[in-house]
Amino acid sequence: MKGARMRVAVVGAGIAGAACARALADAGHAVQVFDKSRGVGGRMSTRRVTSVAGADAVLGLDHGTPGFAAVGADFLGFVEEGQRAGLLARWTPRLAPHSAALQGGAMWVATPDMPALCRALLMDLPLHTLCTVDGVRRSGAMWSIESAGVTVADGFDAVALAIPPQQAAVLLGVHRPDWAVRAQAVPMLPVWVLMGITDAPASGGDWHLAQPASGPLALVLRNDAKPARAALAAQAQWVVHATPDWTGAHLDTPPDQVQALLQAALADCVGGALAWRFAAVHRWLYATLAAVSGDEQTDGAHACAGAWWDVGTGLGVCGDALAGGGVEGAWRSGRALAALVTAGANGDRA
């Protein structure tokens, strides 16, 4: 297989899948990407708000990760390249009194919206959106991709699952039941997010980021203070994260009740009632990694370097949960899987 050009299906167009697909394509492989959502980015997501009373502007509220840190030299290099390309900017929010500095006081933000980074990575690659993969089937030495019980693409040498572990477990079950069990056990935290637009607050509006020490809120952000976001005169754009504990206790609470509770908590946080022009909530069942998962070796699979790769069958898994969590972990995991796939194609394959 030395120098072989493989056909690879990447399931998931978040940062792990995008980084994996980009690295595979750059290594000469033929890649197709599948995602269940309308667009790419996964948890690096932005909700577009097109109709806000009193304004014609189209706004975006970053209701997934608000930003991210870059620690490792490899990821920092990637991020700085993104900054030079105008895809990433550094944001240093003004902190509310008594708030701890999140991610060292500054964070990286994709511009003009969070999915922009994944869009750029995937720009020239075949992408199937609105395609929920509910089966991956191996026949002979080839993989096919199934959605709604129908084969939507086939003839792949390898499949890379770049989706949260609990969702990957469903697809892994038949092929690698041992991985499915491990994936199910990865501890992920849920987060309810309130996003919305209000009239500018009468008080408490001179900061961009607050981390309340108690109560239901973990994080309060002024989205319009981020780089390259549209700001509207006399209005404020909010993204509010509930704590994992509060979210856990309200997992099945109806969204309208969650919205009302979080709006009341935000009013407490800013010190007065807010006049809402738009509000919505989103429940992330698998928002962030609770703790770093083990990286033990399993039979017939390389579990090294933050990705799972079964060289014998051409099945792989990557994502934030396999490489320490967060955007940086997801990116590194996607690249690690691409390296393992490429090494297999170049002769390491069993």
Stretch touching ligand FAD by CB under 6 A, among 10-18, 225-233, 259-267, 341-349: 10-18
Indicate whether 293 belongs to the interface with ligand FAD (CB under 6 A).
no
**Contact flags string 168-207 toward ligand FAD, x per CB under 6 A:** -----------------------x-x--------------
Q: Which of residues 59-118 bind ligand FAD (CB under 6 A)?
A: 64-66, 68
Is position 335 an interface residue for ligand FAD (rule: CB under 6 A)? no
Q: Shortest distance, CB of residue 35 to ligand FAD, whole angstroms?
A: 4
| Part in contact with ligand FAD (CB under 6 A); list of ranges 177-185, 207-215, 273-281, 326-334 | 326-334
Contacts of 260 (CB under 8 A, 6+ apart): none
For ligand FAD, the closer of residues 9 and 236 by Cβ is 9
- Residue 21 engages ligand FAD in binding (rule: CB under 6 A): no
Q: CA geometry: angle at 319 spanning 20 and 210, to 5°?
A: 120
The residue type of 317 is: V
Contact between residue 5 and residue 30 where contact means Cβ atoms under 8 Å apart: yes
CA–CA gap between residue 66 and residue 46 (Å, rounded): 9
Residue 321 identity: A
CA-CA distances (angstroms) from residue 311 to 16, 158, 223, 302?
19, 9, 44, 8
Of 8, 18, 230, which is closest to residue 115 (Cα–Cα)?
A: 18
Cα 67 vs. chain centroid, distance in angstroms? 11
Residues 6+ apart with CB under 8 A from 3: 345, 346
Interface pick for ligand FAD out of 319, 324, 335, 337 (rule CB under 6 A):
319
Which of 10, 14, 33, 111 contacts ligand FAD by CB under 6 A?
14
Binding site residues, ligand FAD, CB under 6 A: 11-17, 34-37, 42-44, 64-66, 68, 132-133, 162-164, 167, 191, 193, 241, 284, 287-288, 319-320, 325-328, 330
